[in-house]
Amino acid sequence: MFALIDCNNFFVSCERVFNPLLKGKPVVVLSNNDGCVIARSNEAKALGIPMGAAAFEYEPFFSRHKVFVLSSNYILYGDMSERVVEVIEEFDFPLEVYSIDEVFLKLPEALSPDALQELGLRIKEKVEKWTGIPISIGIAPTKTLAKVANKIAKKESRHKGVLFFESAAFADPYLAHLPVKEIWGIGPASDEFLAGRNIRFAKELKEAPDSWIRKHLKICGLHTVWELQGISCISHEEQPALRKSIVSSSSFKEAISEKALLESFIAKFAAKVGQRLRREKAMASYIHVFIATSRFDTNSYYANSIGIRLLQSSSYTPEFIRLAKEGLSKIYKEGFRYKRAGVMLSDIIPTSHLQFNLFSPAPDPMKREKLMGLMDYVNMRYGKDSLYLATEGESQNKGYLRKNCSPRFTTCWNEILKIKIN
DNA sequence: TCTGGGGTCCTAGGACCC
DNA sequence: TCTGGGGTCCTAGGACCC
């Protein structure tokens, strides 16, 4: 049996823990640069604000309906997420952290239905009491069905936040009314394809023939169908695997045309991926650089990317910056207004597996490691960006737009919650 | 004027091999 | 007149997730 524990409206719930005035009110949290809506309270959903709504378009709507609009505070959400996981860990079942607001548990088959139901309620109560974050729990024989159970537990208040499918058959009455696009693994493309074939609800998909599904929705689609039938295809992953890629990218507040400025951003992205790579005690041997103009600007759209292979795996920021700049000059074209750029590392291996290249000149790896270690330490001890490479210079003056960001209540002494007693 | 960022996996097709 | 068949590896692009 799998349990999926999912935090309700997670980002909004984190904000509400520290600002109770937000309770019962419509609240939205915006993406970087306050670009679009990435989290909504139930009240905001009820007003019809869609996920991904552009903030500038909705501004009049927000003020008309007194919606609380917050910038995202990822430091706070990340820390709250860890707290939720810590509480769930106390129950001592094999645990998989699936995303910032979701955890799968593998529950023993030996537990009776009553015991499972009761366990669900206990977990819910403890997490809510200890962290202040409301959660929903779905329990079922497969992960996909646990996702369905969770979704319904969240939507229908009669389940009190916990729904348990003893077997796939128990899910049928719900699958009959669940639109296919609400199933985990069915995205917009599959949804459109299925609609064209008159398959609109989960139950119809569940009953479609294997060979037809395999042909049109490929192996992933087939697994989804089997999971709906109660055949577990997606396994429990307790150990997080080593990352396959690390990306740093962002949209710019204002479009950039000058190469020099773009270069300094690319350098900053390269430095950031390098730092994250070292934190994972890993090295990479492939670096990818990409730039693009606004995807909404259809008359002069330009996007390009380039990959460069390193002679030998590395985690040395100056080398990443050098290569990233080299890549940039190959894809940069004058006369465009760039709105987005990024750097990605891949072909990642643990530092302990490093192989030396017989033919590449051997820089002293110990020296490099020492230098990077010192830099990472300074940045950890004295705050990020205390120390950075000169080439990132210009980008440092250009922050993100974050008009209404809450304090880092739980991770920064200067921003800790203050309580006044009169 | 303004539309997120960070991931994974699968597949098709090209280059290459014998 | 006629031009194989069976592999592997790599990469780009698509679809999906939160």
Q: What is the pLDDT of residue A249?
A: 95
Q: How confident is the model over A77-86, as pLDDT tens digits?
A: 999 999 999 9
Q: Which of the listed ranges A265-274, A385-394, A396-405 does the model predict with the highest average pLDDT? A: A265-274
pTM, entire model = 0.93
Q: Is the pLDDT of residue A389 over 90?
A: no
Q: How far is the CA of A309 from the C1' of B15 (A)?
A: 18
The mean-pLDDT minimum among A90-94, A177-181, A268-272, A413-417 falls in A413-417
**At A374, is the pLDDT very low, low, confident or very high (cuts 50, 70, 90)?**
confident
Q: Among all strands, which nt has the closest C1' to A99 (CA)? A: C18
First to last CA, chain A: 52
Tokens of A407: 């304090």
Q: How far is the CA of A24 from the C1' of B7 (A)?
A: 33
Q: At what angle do helices A210-228 and A143-155 cross, to 10 degrees?
A: 60
Q: Find the farthest-apart pair of alpha carbons in chain A and give their distance in angstroms, rounded.
A: 73
Alpha-carbon span A113 to A338, nearest angstrom: 56
Mean residue pLDDT of chain A comes to 92
Q: Among all strands, which nt has the closest C1' to A31 (CA)? A: B4
Amino acid identity at A175: L
The secondary structure element, H or E, covering residue A265 is helix A259-279
Q: How confident is the model over A20-67, as pLDDT tens digits?
A: 999 999 999 999 899 999 999 999 999 999 999 999 999 999 999 999
Amino acid identity at A137: I
Alpha-carbon span A96 to A89, nearest angstrom: 10
Tokens of A184: 């985990």
Q: Among all strands, which nt has the closest C1' to A102 (CA)? A: C18
- Across A394-410, average pLDDT: 81
